[in-house]
Chain A
Amino acid sequence: MYPSKFDYHRPSSVQEAVQILSSNPDAKILAGGHSLIPVMKLRLAAPAALVDIGRIDALQGISRSNGSLRIGACVTYHEIANSADVQAAAPALAEAAGQIGDRQVRYRGTIGGNLSHADPASDLPAAALALGATLHVTGPGGSRSVSASDFFVDLMMTALQPDEILTGVEVPVAQSGTGSAYVKWEHPASGYALCGAAAVVTRGASGSCTGASLCFNGVSSTAVAATAVAASLVGSDLSDATIESAVGDLSIPDATGDMFASAGYRQELAKVMGARALSTARDRA
């Protein structure tokens, strides 16, 4: 597997990286390389240049302030899965990161690369969506913030412009009464999510549900929120029976299939995974 020729840049700041991207329209950002390099080796992509953002300090680190958690774009899955802060503040994200690929992949792959690549079967998009993450982006015109719900546009398409860099992800810290979970059904070949469900639920003082969110990846061309199911849970007692009947009505438009799992079967799996994610989130709330 031999990629086509490419130039290699290793900027040390976000500004420098943006500058290189702006002046090289065929350049691509290289983060963990665990999606980009395989497609280059298969010659499905042949960028003229790579801009390696792996040594930019500003893209590293996990910090917590003002009720939110900021995770640098180049933070690896391994760091996320093992961070006590993430485990406490956003268990669904830690759980999703901990189930990606294998150990090697988790040591190299980054949250920024995962979300930017927006592979429909990736594990992090559903978690980011369910948790209501905000994505920070810097381009030639400066910085902006995009909510996760606006970020994922379509199959491997995001709100990012080619010369923009995702610099970090902000996730609200779970307040008391809020629980989250990520449950994954692994594709037997790729190990990606054949169906992954991320759930966040909040219970009020009485125990009844005051807020819910349920999102999936692996089932359609992009991570999707099951808004109707989530809405139907608000005000409910969140019992197993309630959850079961709520997910029974789940319908994901444009579900996709492959030779291991048809679109119809993925819908059925999504019900089971959704219920499991919701009940685990409830137990943590």
Chain B
Amino acid sequence: MAGESNGAGVFGSSIRRREDPELITGRAKYTDDLQLPNTAYCTILRSDYAHAKINSIDASEAEALDGVIAVYTASDIADSGVPGGIPVGWLLPDMKIPEHFMLAKDTTRYVGDGVAIVVAEDQYTAHDALDLIYVDYDPRDGIADPKKATESGAPLVHDEAPNNIAFDWEIGDKEMTDAAFANAAHVASLDIVNNRLIPNAMEPRAALADYNNITGELTLYMTTQNPHIHRLLMSLASLGLPEHKIRVIAPEVGGGFGSKIHHYADEAIAAWASMQTGRPVKWTATRTETYLTDAHGRDHVTHAEMAMDENGRFTGLRVDTYAAMGAYLSTFAPAVPTYLYGTLMSGEYDLPAIYCHVYGVFTHTVPVDAYRGAGRPEATFVVERIVDEAARVSGIDPAEIRRRNFVAPDNFPYQTQVALAYDSGNYEGALDKALAEIGYDDFRSEQAAAREQGKYLGIGLSTYIEACGLAPSAVVGSLGAQAGQWESAVVRVHATGKVTVYSGCSGHGQGHETTFAQIVASALGVPYEDIDVIEGDSGVMPHGWGTYGSRSAATGGSAIASAAEKVVDKARTIAAHLLEAAEEDLEFENGNFFVKGSPDQTQSLPDVALQAYLAHNLPKGIEPALEATSFYDPENFVFPFGTHIAVVEVCADTGHVELQRYLAVDDVGNVINPMIVDGQVHGGIAQGVGQSLYETAVYDEGANLLSGTMLDYAVPKAHFLPSFETDRTVTPCPHNPLGVKGVGEAGTIASPAAVVNAVVDALSPFGVAHIDMPVTSEKVWNAINN
């Protein structure tokens, strides 16, 4: 794209991702690729039992193995005087917060819970030594089902949490909602399991910790979506080192989907082991460890009911959910089934009464936390499934019932019954576009004809809304976050007019190096090629909160836009001085300042930058150099929305579901790079289709993970998926400088309901009302044949 990428047109064009050549040729360096001299390797012995008392640990054979430097247990960490904690970063009222130590002290609470640490000269020895540590366990009963865990007599995960209830949370108006049901003409009701998912980032988690025991500084390279959060938590909760002595660096990070937001014990263990041994220590998860220890997603058991009047107008929604927390409260876990879930229950609908009650439940499993979509896929699944069920019981077409209940385009801002205030939207616009593109009316006649021939076609809608770019910080704080949700940016114009941008976001596959440069190219009128974007190093950029929750464009991008604006303001002052004109008389176009009406006499941004650095002739009171920092705290969430439609054919002989078409019409506001937006939508849909048809983490009665490898856990493959069709409507966000919303999670949020709705539609001749995810061919076959 050399040369042509100057000025305003860069924003909105499908520039190829500049990060890809390194990624696809294998040149990119991930944490495990990094080599430091004298590195030792760390492995972690993990509990084979979901629940057990540890009677004793005998590590003598392991310690005696040639090449083993040390074996540590929880008492060694405690004795070293570090805090050793793994904290929860979101507090709800009356929440039970059991101690979570870096290693299990006397009880293991899930298969994979860390029990001992080996540090050795090489990876092979470090793994060999694990087999030589003998732990005397006293196994206890475990429980993995979040609803059964609350029943009396269920094994307790923590003695201090009776019935395994971590928190009891509600939102909405119970009385008003109950009244709506008392007066309802129709009621739709569903029992829904939102299947538990295992994140499958291509790169497993890893850490390379380098503690300098002379300076007291720790450099920690790790797989993180948010280096500053990790620095903070390492300092305060785990290691006790002063924050300014810790530098967390995210090298190339190979995907996260939320799993690399959280603060886990393992990276802290690597850092602590480096502090103990005075050597760099590397830990890299095996894929098995990824499955056992990365926070899982979803895992809800829900009962939902929708009340309607005789015209199919929704009058009330009642939702009751048991949400698994796993064995400990992970970093943002309590927010996921509460403020990221209950608040979404209004969907795209003008719903006069809503009540949502949630139990957060401890289970003997790895913790559950944010996973692509985090709460919003669960909420959207409930809402969009119950809406389809409402259509079924009232005999109204699913598209029509949605249309009757949408928040109307002239009804914004719209205050929902569950706290959120939607700022903008045009839900019918996206629905109409999607229905036209899929050929909805024709499909219905095709479907009827196919049924005559024993072919079962189905169509499923998901008219979703999502709330991302959590904000503003004060509101998020009032809801329990122990974090801010603003974002930082530095835009530094060098003396030659080249630009380096620093963002507090931390991309791991999203393409920020490209899109953030596009923002700056448009704002400064500087060629795109002259702009580099740097993220992911707490030692280099100001504090930031990282990349997750589809926040980077809306918060990080806005911070960059506002820093760029400050740069232009300063440059204008200098340019006015150089042009001997008043600032108000200057125009700024394509990177050039000139006096209105005389465009031949210009000062380009590089000209101004050079003068700013030389500082030989600056206006009075203006500091040298040309850069600006911005800390941007948004006014509100952003609210992407849209309509997704799935078309399936179900084979009655086998129960096989063939996804024939998948169409997404999304409204993510202004689009910085359409190709990247499409890519995010594609990936999100693939993950959502994965949840709906294939993926599920299965624990047995004793809470052992059965789907512990990729032989048993079905990540969708390319040949399972059709070529996705994507389109957009554009309703700019009214409250940020770019008019952008977020797109990272939309596909994952919308798609499970679209697919399941399509399958249920295909099976309507068999009277099927619901099938739980994943909709395997066996479940479908059973639904047809029983």
**CB within 8 Å for A189 and B694 given contacts A1-B287, A259-B706:** yes
Q: What number of A-B contacts does a CB cutoff of 8 Å give? A: 56
**CB within 8 Å for A272 and B778 given contacts A258-B712, A260-B714:** no
Residues of chain B touching chain A, judged by Cβ–Cβ distance below 8 Å, are 123-124, 127-128, 131, 286-288, 653-654, 693-694, 696, 698, 706-707, 709-715, 717, 720, 776-778, 781-782
Of the candidates A190, A265, A272, the one whose C-beta lies within 8 Å of that of B711 is: A190
Shortest CB distance A174–B (Å): 28
Shortest CB distance B649–A (Å): 16
**CB within 8 Å for A188 and B778 given contacts A42-B288, A259-B707:** no
A residues less than 8 Å from B287 (CB atoms): 1
Residues of chain A touching chain B, judged by Cβ–Cβ distance below 8 Å, are 1-2, 4-5, 42-43, 185, 187-192, 258-262, 265, 268-269, 272
Asked if residues B778 and A261 are in contact (CB atoms below 8 Å), the reply is yes
A272 to B785 CA separation, bound complex (whole angstroms)? 15
A43 to B710 CA separation, bound complex (whole angstroms)? 16
- Pick the most buried of B694, B717, B778: most chain A CB atoms within 10 A of its CB: B778
A265 to B781 CA separation, bound complex (whole angstroms)? 8
A residues less than 8 Å from B128 (CB atoms): 4-5
A34 to B713 CA separation, bound complex (whole angstroms)? 19
Considering the complex, give the chain B residue whose CB is closest to the CB of A5: B124
Considering the complex, give the chain A residue whose CB is closest to the CB of B130: A43
Asked if residues B124 and A259 are in contact (CB atoms below 8 Å), the reply is no
Shortest CB distance A39–B (Å): 11
Additional A-B contact list (8), CB under 8 Å, known A5-B124, A189-B713, A259-B696: A1-B288, A4-B128, A42-B709, A43-B127, A189-B715, A191-B717, A260-B714, A260-B776
Supply 7 A–B pairs (Cβ within 8 Å), ascending by A: A1-B287, A42-B288, A188-B714, A189-B711, A190-B710, A192-B711, A269-B777
- Give the 8 A-B CB pairs with smallest separation, nearest first: A189-B714, A188-B714, A265-B778, A190-B711, A2-B127, A188-B694, A272-B653, A259-B698
A229 to B52 CA separation, bound complex (whole angstroms)? 51
Shortest CB distance A244–B (Å): 10
A189 to B198 CA separation, bound complex (whole angstroms)? 13
A265 to B653 CA separation, bound complex (whole angstroms)? 11
A5 to B131 CA separation, bound complex (whole angstroms)? 13
Considering the complex, give the chain B residue whose CB is closest to the CB of A264: B778
- Pick the most buried of A2, A42, A261, A268: most chain B CB atoms within 10 A of its CB: A2
Of the candidates A2, A5, A43, A189, the one whose C-beta lies within 8 Å of that of B712 is: A189
B residues less than 8 Å from A272 (CB atoms): 653-654
Asked if residues A260 and B778 are in contact (CB atoms below 8 Å), the reply is yes
B residues less than 8 Å from A258 (CB atoms): 712
Asked if residues B710 and A189 are in contact (CB atoms below 8 Å), the reply is yes
Considering the complex, give the chain B residue whose CB is closest to the CB of A275: B653
A225 to B640 CA separation, bound complex (whole angstroms)? 56
A residues less than 8 Å from B654 (CB atoms): 185, 268-269, 272
Considering the complex, give the chain B residue whose CB is closest to the CB of A121: B711
A269 to B717 CA separation, bound complex (whole angstroms)? 22
Considering the complex, give the chain A residue whose CB is closest to the CB of B713: A189
B residues less than 8 Å from A188 (CB atoms): 693-694, 714, 720, 776
B residues less than 8 Å from A269 (CB atoms): 654, 777
Shortest CB distance A265–B (Å): 4
Shortest CB distance B244–A (Å): 37
Considering the complex, give the chain B residue whose CB is closest to the CB of A257: B778
Considering the complex, give the chain A residue whose CB is closest to the CB of B710: A189
Considering the complex, give the chain B residue whose CB is closest to the CB of A262: B778
Shortest CB distance A32–B (Å): 17
Considering the complex, give the chain B residue whose CB is closest to the CB of A192: B711
Shortest CB distance A219–B (Å): 13
Considering the complex, give the chain A residue whose CB is closest to the CB of B127: A2
A residues less than 8 Å from B778 (CB atoms): 260-262, 265
A residues less than 8 Å from B288 (CB atoms): 1, 42
B residues less than 8 Å from A187 (CB atoms): 714
Considering the complex, give the chain A residue whose CB is closest to the CB of B706: A259
Shortest CB distance A253–B (Å): 20
A residues less than 8 Å from B713 (CB atoms): 189
**CB within 8 Å for A259 and B712 given contacts A185-B654, A188-B694:** yes
B residues less than 8 Å from A192 (CB atoms): 711
B residues less than 8 Å from A185 (CB atoms): 654
Shortest CB distance A167–B (Å): 29
Shortest CB distance B196–A (Å): 12
Shortest CB distance A163–B (Å): 27
B residues less than 8 Å from A4 (CB atoms): 128
